[in-house]
Chains A and B, each alone.
Chain A
């Protein structure tokens, strides 16, 4: 009897040890941002916010950001580094949506057709972007963000000059497309989000949106189990090794960047329906760094990433930003510092994640 008790006790402490060892294996940045998430959550609850509402918000942000974060996986695996040129994908996605709206499509047709078109446009631009990355081997990290900035500026001109006359899309006065085109006008607001939506313990689950995210993640996971996917990973780990095994290194990198850009392009459709607007002009510029931070917070490094990094990192980082706003609004009622605080958190986490990128965020 006694010995059994002792045995049970030691079994328990063993389990604790094992749990601790598992915990230690979680990258430090994931633990740190996760810890911050729970601190903010608890502060919110203490100040009277409903935890269910906060979770709902977290899931909402997760749903619209996950695809952007996922677009980093192929480019990181191929050795090109994180997809800092996310705006390239975003402008092509926006172009797909804008063209289909101008063509008079609405509702599900609009979203599905523009999603397909976004993949096509994204692939074309991604292919060219991949060629560019091969031409600047060694300085991808410097060129990629500027490619994003440059293409955002270029498309700023396109949005002004494009000969679209749809009254719901252009400025009231003068030429050019509006900064924000509400999807309400096109009956396409929240379509994925509302599909099979349900509530559990007060938390709203945007089932359709989450299903799309998970499906994309599963496809990505499967892709990196195919011959092409494994070849891309090998190229990223050691290009000479891949070359000696008969892999075309440049071609693998182009495939990976084409995928990254096409996925980002597709992500625009999910993001737009989730927030209810198609946002043009300098909007694409602000997505690259937060999306990269998502995957890094999830435990990826500049050289290696997995789908699980996307899921964990996006939930924690975007979830943190999602709840920071309502929580600090309550805590600092009246003071107009909520948005600056949110920006400090966002950029602080990005800075930290980037600083650890080369070693792997651990």
Chain B
């Protein structure tokens, strides 16, 4: 059982000057379930892309280090090489043809051909691809693969209309049907499944592993990993943290390995901070239909003047909260603003009530990239508060320019002039324009999503300092959503962690990292012992 099958040796990868993998080495054994774990950006996807010879790796200069399969060094230059070597992968997005049957999907491009007189003639005339198919044998193979997974669905059913969980199984069936399958990678296979489906899948993984295939299981759910995996490898910031037997560890330890102790808290004048007891925003059972960021019933309260953080892994729904409250995506639930119940889905009403929003999607939502800085800054304030309009109700160019110049000075926006198009600015300066637009509304509550995504360290610090200053000096209530836990902990008074669309818990910023890690991984704060 414990023969080494696949070995990663000193793998390093640089994307345009950015080291995403640093000297990673570990091995995967025959017939084991090997869990691969890490936060977003830890390097899991890059590692798997290397294993599959994805073009994105080789078009960016390849990688250093080597891969060995069953003791031999292999060069995997394309996904076809990977497939030929018996490496299969089930992606998060399904790659199935809806109008084909399950068998046809499983056997796509690996169809079994009939050998008969007619076929020998047509294949000579028109080439091998004109042979007719041996559907009986194909169905038999498909049945075998489905049985292995304990699936009692008919193999001639169309994929169209199958429940999502079933599609996942069809994908897996396709991979295990391939001859010579040695390594099967499952990328967050349980993310889309219901609880019973997930259990079923874990059982099927066991069966697959017992047949000698090595299963690489990528997941954020710690309880699944501890339940099913034999060994676990944890990556953090492109480095291997640890690779060990699951039976020698526990969820708490794994969580700590994943988040690490990088959460540095350099809070100033922390103790002097006195928060009022006045609840300025109360959210109850919020549901938001934002693609990839679904929110499924989140409740929380924010006090006046507080800096409230919302964290969690990507795709878990943290971004949906601000977008839903601002009415950019369909949402339901109860939002009470300073004692007034707000109707959801009415962006204008929210803005009128003094709420401003800096979107995580700078170019898509936050900016008019082909318009000038000054036009970007003034727009929302004009449309909501009738600012910058002359007595004749025309736009007051002089007032707009003056205000833009002040903002450029105050926020240190590096630009040629207030007339420069925002599309030409660097990410950090674009972000400052977005913040300037929000501040021009003179809000009492400010939502900022991913304020430091994709911007350099200097600008990062400037923006975080600015947010802190707004809260401390002007008493603005700030709700910041971010993927960077360290950043949340450095300026927030409380940090909420969202997992799978639900509130995993709210922690003080100086809570131990393990607690954040556990919450991000779907272990809910059931006993309440974490927040204690």
Q: How large is the interface on B (under 10, 10 to 19, 20 to 34, 35 or more residues)?
A: 20 to 34
Do B359 and A244 have beta carbons less than 8 Å apart? Answer: yes
Measured in the bound complex, the distance between the Cα atoms of B271 and A67 in whole Å is: 68
User: Does residue A18 face the partner (Cβ distance < 8 Å to B)?
Assistant: no
Is the pair A227, B393 in contact by a Cβ cutoff of 8 Å? yes
Are B368 and A241 interface neighbours, CB within 8 A?
Answer: yes
**A215 near B: Cβ within 8 Å?**
no
Note all chain B residues with C-beta closer than 8 A to A238: 364-365, 367-369
| A247: chain B residues within 8 A (beta carbon) | 348, 383
Q: Which residues of A contact B228 (CB under 8 A)?
A: none
B420 at the interface (CB under 8 A from A): no
**Is B347 a contact partner of A241 (Cβ separation < 8 A)?**
no
Quick check: is B384 within 8 A (CB to CB) of the other chain?
yes
B138 at the interface (CB under 8 A from A): no
Are B383 and A227 in contact (CB-based, < 8 A)? yes
Question: What residues on A are CB-neighbors of B367 within 8 Å?
Answer: 238, 241
B351 within 8 A of A: yes
Contact B394 A245 (CB under 8 A): no
Contact among A222, A227, A234, A244 for B326, CB-based, below 8 A: A244
Q: What residues of A have a CB within 8 angstroms of the CB of B361 in the complex?
A: 240
Q: Find the A residue at minimum CB distance from B394.
A: A225
* Contact of A237 with B351 in the complex, beta carbons under 8 Å: no
Shortest CB distance A242–B (Å): 8
**A222 contacts which chain B residues (CB < 8 A)?**
394
Binding site for B on A (CB under 8 A): 222, 225-227, 230-231, 234, 237-238, 240-241, 243-248, 304
User: Does B181 sit at the interface, judged by CB under 8 A?
Assistant: no
Please report the C-alpha to C-alpha distance between residue A52 and residue B313 in the assembled complex, in whole angstroms: 74
A244's contact among B347, B386, B389, by CB below 8 Å, is which? B347
Determine whether the beta carbon of B348 is less than 8 Å from that of A230: no
Instruction: List, in ascending order, chain A residues with CB within 8 A of B386's CB.
Output: 227
Whether A230 and B395, one on each chain, are in contact in the complex, defined by CB atoms closer than 8 angstroms, is yes
Complex partner residue of A246 from B359, B370, B384, CB under 8 angstroms: B384
Q: Which residue of B lies closest to A236 (CB)?
A: B368
Contact (Cβ within 8 A) B347 A227 = no
User: B327-357, CB under 8 A of A: which get 1 and which 0?
Assistant: 0100000000000000000011011100001
Taking a contact as CB atoms under 8 Å apart, the answer to whether B380 and A246 are in contact is: yes
Chain B residues with a Cβ under 8 A of chain A: 326, 328, 347-348, 350-352, 357, 359, 361, 364-371, 379-380, 382-384, 386, 389, 393-395
Contacts of B371 in A (CB 8 A): 237
| A243–B369 alpha-carbon span in the complex (Å) | 16
Instruction: Flag if A241 contacts B365 (CB, 8 Å).
Output: yes
| Contact pick for B357, options A231, A234, A244, CB 8 Å | A244
> Inside 8 A of A237's CB, which chain B residues have their CB?
368, 370-371
* Closest partner residue, chain A, to B369 (CB atom): A238
Q: Which of chain A's residues have a CB closer than 8 A to the CB of B365?
A: 238, 240-241, 244
Report the nearest A residue to B350, measured CB to CB.
A246
User: Contacts A234-B379, A241-B365, A245-B384 given; 19 further ones with Cβ under 8 A?
Assistant: A225-B395, A226-B395, A230-B379, A231-B383, A234-B368, A237-B368, A238-B369, A240-B365, A241-B367, A243-B347, A244-B326, A244-B347, A244-B357, A244-B359, A245-B351, A245-B379, A245-B380, A246-B348, A304-B370
CB of B525 to closest CB in A, whole Å: 33
Chain A residues, CB < 8 A from B348:
246-248
Q: Does A243 lie within 8 Å of B383, measured CB to CB?
A: no
- The contact of A230 among B347, B359, B382, by CB within 8 Å, is B382
3 interchain residue pairs of minimum CB distance: A246-B348, A245-B380, A240-B365
> How far apart are A217's CB and chain B's nearest CB, in angstroms?
16
Q: Which residues of A lie under 8 Å from residue B389 when comparing CB positions?
A: 227
On whether A244 and B328 interact (CB within 8 A), knowing A226-B393, A231-B383, the answer reads: yes
Q: How far is the CB of A145 from chain B (nearest CB, A)?
A: 26
Instruction: Give the chain A neighbours of B395 by CB distance below 8 A.
Output: 225-227, 230
Chain A residue nearest to B390 (CB atoms) is A225
25 contacts between A and B (CB under 8 A): A226-B395, A227-B382, A227-B383, A227-B389, A230-B382, A237-B371, A238-B364, A238-B365, A238-B367, A238-B369, A240-B328, A241-B366, A241-B368, A241-B379, A243-B347, A244-B347, A244-B357, A244-B366, A244-B380, A245-B347, A245-B383, A246-B347, A246-B380, A246-B384, A248-B348
A226 in contact with B394 (CB, 8 Å):
yes
- A92–B315 Cα distance when bound, in Å, is 51
A143 to B167, CA, bound (A): 37
For residue B369, give the distance in angstroms from its CB to the closest CB of chain A: 8
A226–B348 alpha-carbon span in the complex (Å): 18
Residues of the B chain whose Cβ atoms lie less than 8 Å from the Cβ of A243:
328, 347
B residues in contact with A226, CB < 8 Å: 393-395
Closest beta carbon of chain A to B254's beta carbon, Å: 39
Min CB distance A260 to B, Å, is: 21
Q: How far is the CB of A41 from chain B (nearest CB, A)?
A: 36
A226 to B390, CA, bound (A): 9
Would you give the shortest CB distance from A113 to chain B, in whole angstroms? 30
Q: Which residue of A lies closest to B387 (CB)?
A: A227
Chain A residues near B364: list those with CB within 8 A: 238, 240
Give chain B nearest CB distance to A240 CB in angstroms: 4
Cα A241 to Cα B422 in complex, Å, equals 13
Residues in A with CB closer than 8 Å to B352 are 246
Q: Name the distance in Å between B352's Cβ and chain A's nearest Cβ.
A: 7
For B328, the chain A residues whose CB sits under 8 A away are: 240, 243-244
B370 contact set on A, CB distance < 8 A: 237, 304
* B residues near A227, Cβ cutoff 8 Å: 382-383, 386, 389, 393, 395
For the complex formed, measure the closest distance between the CB of A176 and the CB atoms of chain B, giving whole angstroms: 48
Cα A246 to Cα B367 in complex, Å, equals 14
Q: How far is the CA of A222 from the CA of B393 in the complex (A)?
A: 10
In the complex, the chain A residue whose C-beta lies closest to that of B346 is A246
Give chain B residues whose Cβ lies under 8 Å from the Cβ of A225: 394-395
Which chain A residues border B351 with CB–CB below 8 Å?
A: 245-246
CB of B442, distance to nearest CB on chain A (Å): 14
A162 to B367, CA, bound (A): 52
Roughly how many angstroms separate A222 CA and B386 CA in the complex, as a whole number? 17
Can you name the residue of chain B whose Cβ is closest to the Cβ of A224? B395
Which residues from B are CB-within-8-Å of A304? 370
Which A residues lie within 8 Å of B366 (CB)? 241, 244
Interface centre among A231, A234, A241 (most CB of B within 10 A): A241
* Min CB gap B457→A, angstroms: 28
Q: List B contacts of A234 (CB < 8 A).
A: 368, 379
Residue of A nearest to B364 (CB): A240
- Cα(A243)–Cα(B357), bound, Å: 12
A26 to chain B, nearest CB (A): 19
CB-CB nearest in chain B for A237: B368
What's the least CB distance linking A194 to chain B, in Å? 34
Distance of A222 Cα from B366 Cα, bound (Å): 27
> What distance in Å separates the Cβ of B404 from its nearest Cβ neighbour in chain A?
15
- Which of A222, A230, A244, A248 has the most B CB atoms < 10 Å from its CB? A244
User: Which residues of A have CB within 8 Å of B359?
Assistant: 244
**Closest CB-CB distance, A169 to chain B, in whole Å?**
44
